[in-house]
Amino acid sequence: METKKEFTGSALTIKALTADVNINTHDSQKILISAKGPKAVIENLDIFEKNGRIFIQSKNQNTENSVTLFGNENCVIVSEGNGNVIMSGNSGGNVVIVGSGSSISVTSGNKALSLEILIPKTINLSIKNVRGKVSVAEIEGKLNAMTSGSSEIVVSAFTGDANLQASGSSDIKIKAGKINELDAQSSGSADIHIKAVAETAKLKASGNSDIRIIDVLGRLREKTSGSADITVIND
């Protein structure tokens, strides 16, 4: 199943999804969204505009008595009340459901949901807790990226202010660009690798995580704990 949406704006938030996301730019102020996946997954997708910002997220993320599962672990779910049970992710594992929700759907496969998005080159982009791979073309503006688990966010090039948070075994990569103000935090075994120069940077790494950046021209604040590592290559 496929759904398409079109908005005009310069701010986009993608959050609380399991999906592969491909974001490219074009010479327009329109934000064009194409989502493909099984019917149950598409119907659970919420795409809307609020106060000038476009949101792409799961409908049931804040619903009482709802359960959302991702991955391939064996599990037992007891569903009480009228909540929804939505499962998607890797094939494999056993699922047992006890009880009756108003909506129960199971989707297997590594790419249950895929998003193709066209955005203006200058944008305020926020990516939060998207399980899967997110690929972003060269952009400028503001970038807020938060990832966990085994997810990955890759940005071809970025110019502007960036706030990056990676945990679990996730990765955030910026392949080129120039960052004005950088705030980066890593934990677990996560990696944040930035092949760009920052004017100022606040870096914090814990656990077995790693932060690498080409250079920081001005003020640098850094803090590590555990066996974490922070590397400024041209320092």
- In the structure encoding, which two tokens stand for residue 183, read together? 């705030």
- In the structure encoding, which two tokens stand for residue 34, read together? 């194409």
> Strand, coil or helix: what is 27?
coil
- Contact between residue 187 and residue 167 where contact means Cβ atoms under 8 Å apart: yes
* CA 83 to each of CA 9, 61, 72, 87: distance values in angstroms, whole numbers, following the listed order: 33, 11, 22, 13
The residue ranges of every structural domain in the chain are: 2-58+112-232, 60-106
Mean residue pLDDT across the chain: 85
Residue 113 has pLDDT above 80, yes or no: yes
Distance CA 125, CA 92 (A): 34
Q: Percent of the chain scored above 90 by pLDDT?
A: 74
Per residue in 19-38, pLDDT tens? 999 999 999 999 999 999 99
Exposure of 56 in the CB half-sphere (CA atoms within 13 A) = 32
Per residue in 142-188, pLDDT tens? 999 999 998 999 999 999 999 999 999 999 999 999 999 999 999 99
DSSP tag of 89: S
Answer whether CATH 1.20.1050 is correct for domain 2-58+112-232.
Answer: no
Output the pLDDT for position 61. 59
Residue 57 has pLDDT above 50, yes or no: yes
* CA 124 to each of CA 73, 129, 197, 210: distance values in angstroms, whole numbers, following the listed order: 36, 17, 20, 26
Three-class SS string for 183-199? Answer: EEEECCCCEEEEEEEEE
Per residue in 214-227, pLDDT tens? 999 999 999 999 99
Distance CA 229, CA 225 (A): 8
Q: How many helical (H) and strand (E) elements, i.e. helices and strands, does the chain have?
A: 1, 23
